[in-house]
């Protein structure tokens, strides 16, 4: 078992970047109380923070804090859940906590669940339990950065040692940024060059612990069991029966085993070749929810795939291989960590400034699967029901909402994904929305995913659409991607009248996509002229110019009216 931290502190000091695991004394006090603060990293295997918390200690307090910011029901939200998270993700998290609790019990401990603002709760526990060592996984998300600063401050003033290993990703984003002269690499290839082979890749990662020291006196801290969704104030509405993803490390490891058992499949894995319409047996691993919460270690995943690759003659390579997918994940973590305002257009130096519209009507039609384009609507139904969709399905709907058709701001689409995806991940979600909207990383805005022909290529009979949009189940295959073109007699026969049973398309794709390209061309030109630095006034001017030019082309309002 590997008990020493993999990432040691560096002498180089960067204000924003965490290169250091130890905030205080690396030779920590032994024989005292430690607190293991779980947030992500909901696992026993390859958990450096937990291993260190358990080393040479009298008592270990494994804590998870139910954060109202994340978990409190929000009746005003557009789907069941809290302000930030859909119920499907909340349920997945609670299942993951139950599984963690059960694993901890097998090791002689248990999970202590507390409720409240996490930094306040943790500071209270540190005082109440006389903690000398605090261990938690380093988190690059801005929300945790702020929380952690508060807790670390208190710990340092109180003489508590803090251990925060980087174990959510394959690499330490701060180290990659440092190697690149203080800036994140902005292309996948340059990221690969800087990253090289991870330094832990040849050592065997720990898969279990033999024992965890007991929990000490709980004093006045109010500790509960893992709550149910009902106890959190939700009605337990199951969107899918049975739910597609069961949260937790046990299930994650079972699924990883199942995927890697199929050696040929692993060796030949080649994205983006998979079929986005495959729903009975999806084309990829579907491990993203488990990576998101750290029920599965990305390092362990990486090693298992490497083992398979050693056993086969030929295998695919990054960027398309399975290892390549994990490296995409690290790439977005690194860029997200090193880019101020990564989750916004304004103030984000790597993001093109584009005069997106704020059309809430179009946004709601997209979000609620009412665009009238069956391929797009079926994907949005799958997203809401399953909390997961295939990568190319994500491409289709993100392109459609932004640069392809509706020209709605990518931040609005990002918010919808952030809420509905179980795997919703700050760095990866923002990174991919920047990519798909041609705001960063990818700039070929003339290459648009057709909401009609793209899906048809994979699924000519429309089985996927019929499954997720049963209202179209009897529509002949000639019209399944464009039902508004079906003669009324066929619509009647299919028991689906367009405009009554299923909406007319919200825009005309050919006109809308031409209009989007025109706007993007103008925005790109101005971004180039201004060297990417555009004021509010420049943006206003650009909007004005686009409206003035509108007589020569079409704008989204007119495109919409055509179909009303």
Q: Is 394 in the site for ligand FAD (CB under 6 A)?
A: yes
433 sits near ligand FAD (criterion: CB under 6 A): yes
Q: Please, what is the minimum distance in Å from the beta carbon of residue 69 to ligand FAD?
A: 19
Measure the CA–CA gap between 247 and 178, rounded to whole angstroms. 35
Is the torsion defined by CA of 431, 434, 438, 443 positive or negative? negative
The residue nearest ligand FAD at its CB is: 284
421 is a contact residue toward ligand FAD (CB under 6 A): yes
Backbone angles phi, psi at 38, to 5 degrees: -85, 135
Alpha helices in 368-425 (DSSP H): 374-386, 391-399, 410-420
Residue list 274-313, contact with ligand FAD (CB under 6 A): 284-288, 291-292
Among 423, 459, 515, 555, binds ligand FAD (CB under 6 A): 423
Residue with Cβ nearer ligand FAD (52 or 445): 445
Q: Can you tell me the distance from the alpha carbon of 389 to that of 66, in angstroms, rounded to the nearest whole number? A: 27
Decide if residue 439 touches ligand FAD (CB under 6 A): no
Please give the residues from 396 up to 415 whose contact with ligand FAD meets the rule CB under 6 A.
Answer: 398
Q: How many CA atoms lie within 13 A of 248 on its CB side?
A: 17
Helices and strands in the chain, H and E counts: 23, 5
Among residues 136 and 433, whose Cβ is nearest to ligand FAD?
433
Question: What residues between 240 and 279 interact with ligand FAD by CB under 6 A?
Answer: 271
Q: What angle do CA 529, 533, 535 make, to 5 degrees?
A: 105
| Residue number, 119 or 303, with CB nearest to ligand FAD | 303
Distances 314 to 38, 100, 253, 301 between C-alpha atoms, Å: 39, 37, 25, 19
**Under the criterion CB under 6 A, does residue 395 sit at the interface with ligand FAD?**
yes
Q: Which stretch binds ligand FAD (CB under 6 A): 86-94, 157-165, 177-185, 325-333?
A: 325-333
- Using rule CB under 6 A, residue 140 touches ligand FAD: no
Instruction: Return the residue of 417, 441, 449, 468 that touches ligand FAD, per CB under 6 A.
Output: 417
Closest separation between CB of residue 327 and ligand FAD, Å?
8
CB of residue 322 vs ligand FAD: minimum separation in angstroms? 6
Contact by Cβ (8 Å): 100, 43: yes
The minimum distance between CB 298 and ligand FAD, in angstroms, equals: 7
Beta carbon of residue 143, minimum distance to ligand FAD (angstroms, whole number): 15
429 contributes a contact to ligand FAD by CB under 6 A: yes
Q: 271 vs 412, which CB is nearer to ligand FAD?
A: 271
> Do the Cβ atoms of 417 and 288 come closer than 8 Å?
no
Q: Closer to ligand FAD by CB, 132 or 385: give it.
A: 385
Q: Per CB under 6 A, does 385 bind ligand FAD? A: no
In this structure, the dihedral spanned by the alpha carbons of residues 499, 505, 508 and 513, taken in order and rounded to 10 degrees, is 170
Decide whether 33 or 439 has the Cβ nearer to ligand FAD: 439
Name which of 429 and 527 has its Cβ closer to ligand FAD: 429
Cβ neighbour number for residue 96 with a 10 Å cutoff: 29
| Under rule CB under 6 A, residue 424 binds ligand FAD | yes
Residue 325 as a binder of ligand FAD (CB under 6 A): the answer is yes
Residue 115 lies near ligand FAD (rule: CB under 6 A): no
**Residue 112, strand partner residues:** 63
DSSP string, 412-455: HHHHHHHHH-TT--HHHHHHHHHHHTTSSS---TT----TTHHH
Does residue 419 bind ligand FAD (CB under 6 A)? Answer: no
Report the residue number, 59 or 433, with the smaller CB distance to ligand FAD.
433
Q: Does 425 bind ligand FAD (CB under 6 A)?
A: yes
Name, in order, each residue with C-beta under 8 angstroms of 96's C-beta and a sequence gap of 6 or more.
Answer: 42, 247, 248, 249, 293, 295
Can you give the three-state secondary structure of 59-109, one letter per residue?
Answer: EEEEEEEECHHHHCECCCCCCCEECCCEHHHHHHHHHHHHHHHHHHHHCCC
Q: Does 332 bind ligand FAD (CB under 6 A)?
A: yes
CB of 289 to ligand FAD, least distance (A): 8
**Interface stretch with ligand FAD, choices 87-95, 323-331, 458-466, 525-533 (CB under 6 A):** 323-331
Q: Which is nearer to ligand FAD, 174 or 326 (CB)?
A: 326
E strand or H helix that includes residue 157: helix 142-157
The smaller minimum CB distance to ligand FAD, of residues 163 and 386, is found at 386
Q: In whole angstroms, how close is the CB of 328 to ligand FAD at the nearest point?
A: 4
The residue count for binding ligand FAD (CB under 6 A) is: 28
Residue closer to ligand FAD (CB basis): 110 or 299: 299
CB of 421 to ligand FAD, least distance (A): 5
Q: To the nearest whole angstrom, how small is the minimum distance from the Cβ of residue 325 to ligand FAD?
A: 3
Answer whether 326's CB lies under 8 Å from 392's CB: no
For residue 271 the two structure tokens come to 């994205």
Torsional class of 170: left (φ above 0), alpha (ψ -120 to 50), beta (otherwise): alpha
With CA atoms as reference, report the closest residue to 244 among 91, 356, 105, 119. 91
> Residues 75, 80, 81, CA angle at the centre, nearest 5°?
80
Alpha carbon distance 133, 33 (integer Å): 7
Q: Closest separation between CB of residue 188 and ligand FAD, Å?
A: 10
Q: Is 121 in the site for ligand FAD (CB under 6 A)?
A: no
> Is it true that the peptide bond before 319 is cis, omega within 30 degrees of 0?
yes
Residue 543's alpha-carbon distances to 377, 548, 559, in angstroms, are: 30, 9, 18
Establish if 376 lies at the interface with ligand FAD (CB under 6 A): no
* Residue 344 Cβ vs ligand FAD, minimum distance, rounded to whole Å: 16
Q: Does 43 participate in binding ligand FAD (rule CB under 6 A)?
A: no
- Interface ranges with ligand FAD (CB under 6 A): 271, 284-288, 291-292, 325-326, 328-329, 332, 390-391, 394-395, 398, 417, 421, 423-425, 428-429, 432-433, 436
């Amino acid at each position: 078992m590997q008990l020493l931290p993999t990432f040691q502190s560096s002498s180089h000091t960067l204000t924003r970047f965490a290169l250091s695991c130890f905030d205080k004394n690396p030779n920590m006090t032994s024989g005292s109380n430690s607190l293991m603060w779980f947030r992500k990293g909901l696992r026993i295997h390859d958990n450096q923070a937990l291993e260190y918390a358990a080393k040479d200690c009298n008592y270990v307090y494994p804590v998870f804090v139910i954060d109202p910011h994340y978990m409190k029901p929000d009746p005003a939200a557009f789907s069941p859940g809290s302000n930030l998270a859909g119920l499907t993700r909340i349920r997945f998290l609670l299942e993951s906590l139950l599984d963690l609790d059960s694993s901890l019990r097998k090791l002689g401990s248990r999970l202590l669940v507390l409720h409240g603002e996490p930094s306040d709760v943790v500071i209270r526990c540190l005082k109440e339990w006389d903690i000398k060592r605090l261990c938690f996984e380093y988190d690059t998300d801005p929300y945790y950065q702020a929380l952690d600063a508060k807790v670390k401050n208190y710990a340092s003033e109180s003489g508590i040692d803090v251990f925060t290993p980087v174990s959510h990703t394959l690499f330490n984003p701060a180290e990659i940024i440092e190697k690149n002269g203080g800036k994140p690499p902005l292309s996948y290839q340059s990221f690969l060059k800087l990253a090289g082979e991870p330094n832990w890749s040849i050592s065997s990662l720990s898969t279990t612990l033999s024992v965890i020291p007991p929990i000490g006196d709980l004093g006045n801290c109010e500790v509960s069991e893992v709550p149910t969704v009902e106890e959190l104030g939700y009605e337990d509405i199951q969107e899918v029966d049975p739910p597609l993803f069961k949260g937790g490390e046990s299930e994650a490891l079972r699924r990883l085993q199942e995927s890697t058992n199929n050696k040929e499949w692993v060796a030949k894995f080649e994205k983006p070749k998979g079929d986005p319409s495959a729903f009975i047996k999806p084309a990829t691993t579907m491990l993203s929810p488990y990576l998101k919460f750290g029920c599965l270690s990305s390092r362990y995943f990486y090693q298992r795939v490497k083992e398979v690759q050693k056993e086969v003659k030929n295998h695919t390579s990054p960027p398309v291989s399975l290892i390549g997918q994990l490296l995409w994940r690290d790439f977005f973590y690194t860029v997200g960590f090193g880019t101020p305002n990564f989750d916004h257009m304004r103030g984000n130096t790597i993001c093109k400034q584009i005069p997106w519209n704020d059309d809430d009507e179009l946004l709601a039609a997209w979000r609620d699967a009412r665009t009238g384009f069956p391929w797009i609507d079926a994907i949005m139904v799958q997203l809401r029901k399953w909390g997961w969709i295939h990568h190319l399905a994500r491409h289709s709907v993100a392109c459609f909402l932004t640069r392809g058709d509706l020209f709605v701001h990518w931040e609005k689409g990002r918010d919808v994904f952030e809420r509905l995806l179980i795997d919703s991940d700050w760095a990866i979600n923002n990174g991919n929305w920047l990519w798909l909207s041609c705001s960063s990383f990818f700039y070929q805005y003339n290459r648009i995913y057709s909401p009609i022909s793209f899906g048809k290529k994979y699924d000519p009979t429309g089985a996927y659409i019929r499954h997720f949009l049963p209202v179209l189940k009897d529509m002949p295959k000639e019209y399944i991607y464009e039902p508004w073109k079906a003669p009324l007699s066929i619509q009647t026969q299919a028991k689906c009248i367009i405009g009554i049973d299923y909406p007319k398309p919200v825009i005309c794709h050919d006109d809308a996509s031409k209009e989007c390209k025109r706007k993007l061309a103008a925005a790109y030109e101005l971004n180039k002229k201004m060297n990417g630095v555009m004021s509010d006034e420049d943006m206003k001017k650009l909007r004005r110019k686009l409206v003035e030019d509108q007589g020569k082309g079409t704008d989204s309002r007119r495109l919409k009216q055509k179909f009303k």
